[in-house]
């Protein structure tokens, strides 16, 4: 009997965000600019941790790459009360009602030290058992650049 891995949970009220179980990726559609973005669940988990740190007064310098686009799209969801922190300059606008685990729960995807994501490991993103964030961010930038070029061709 095969054991099924724990599944992330997304509120059925989320219209523009869905999880593809087969690919194990999160698809986000920005309806304003008609742009689709793809995120690894650990990346979105990092976004949620970043937002939590902001709201709890932890000093943070720079948001993870892709955070602001994700946050703006999540904050457009009409049927979700909670929102993520955003910035329009030097200061962060912290939400009165933060996004909750009932809206998005990715606790089944570990981002803790000592636990290696097999997908990232197969791609060579670990060095001496540690996730190489410089390499991850480099590949995220390459993917975003490619998506931008792909989007420009469709215009």
| pLDDT tens-digit readout, 50-71 | 898 888 888 887 899 999 999 9
Q: Are residues 73 and 36 in the same domain?
A: yes
Based on the fold, state whether residues 81 and 132 are members of the same structural domain.
Answer: no
Do residues 145 and 132 share a domain? yes
Same domain, 95 and 128: no
* Residue 47 and residue 31 share a domain: yes
The answer as to whether 25 is a domain residue is: yes
User: Are residues 74 and 95 both part of a single domain?
Assistant: yes
**Same domain assignment for residues 26 and 71:** yes
Check whether residue 49 and residue 72 sit in a common domain: yes
Most confidently modeled of 1-10, 58-67, 70-79? 70-79
Residue 146 inside a domain? The answer is yes
pLDDT average, residue stretch 98-110? 82
Q: Is the pLDDT of residue 115 over 60?
A: no
Domain total in the chain: 2
Q: Answer yes or no: do 66 and 99 share one domain.
A: yes
- Residue 97: inside a domain, yes or no? yes
Is 1 part of a structural domain of the chain? Answer: no
Whether 11 and 85 share a structural domain: yes
Longest dimension (CA), the chain: 54
Alpha-carbon distances, residue 44 vs 3, 145, 149, 155 (angstroms):
25, 19, 23, 28
Say yes or no: 22 and 63 in one domain. yes
pTM: predicted TM-score of the whole model, two decimal places: 0.67
Flag whether pLDDT at 114 surpasses 60. Answer: no
For residue 132, tell me if it sits in a domain. yes
pLDDT at 122: 73
Domain that holds residue 131: 113-155
Q: Mean pLDDT of all residues in the chain? A: 82
Cβ burial 74-85 (10 Å sphere, 16+ → b, else e): bbebeebebbbb
């Amino acid at each position: 009997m095969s054991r099924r891995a724990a599944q992330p949970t997304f509120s059925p009220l989320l219209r523009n965000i869905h999880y593809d179980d087969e690919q194990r990726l999160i698809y986000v559609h920005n309806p304003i600019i008609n742009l689709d973005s793809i995120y690894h669940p650990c990346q979105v988990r990092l976004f949620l941790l970043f937002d939590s740190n902001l709201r709890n007064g932890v000093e943070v310098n720079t948001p993870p790459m892709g955070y602001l686009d994700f946050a703006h799209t999540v904050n457009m969801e009409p049927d979700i009360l909670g929102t993520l922190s955003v910035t329009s300059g030097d200061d962060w606008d912290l939400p009165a009602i933060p996004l909750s685990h009932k809206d998005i729960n990715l606790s089944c995807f570990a981002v803790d030290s000592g636990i290696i994501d097999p997908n990232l490991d197969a791609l060579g993103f670990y060095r001496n058992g540690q996730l190489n964030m410089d390499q991850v961010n480099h590949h995220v930038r390459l993917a975003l650049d490619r998506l931008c070029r792909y989007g420009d061709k469709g215009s």
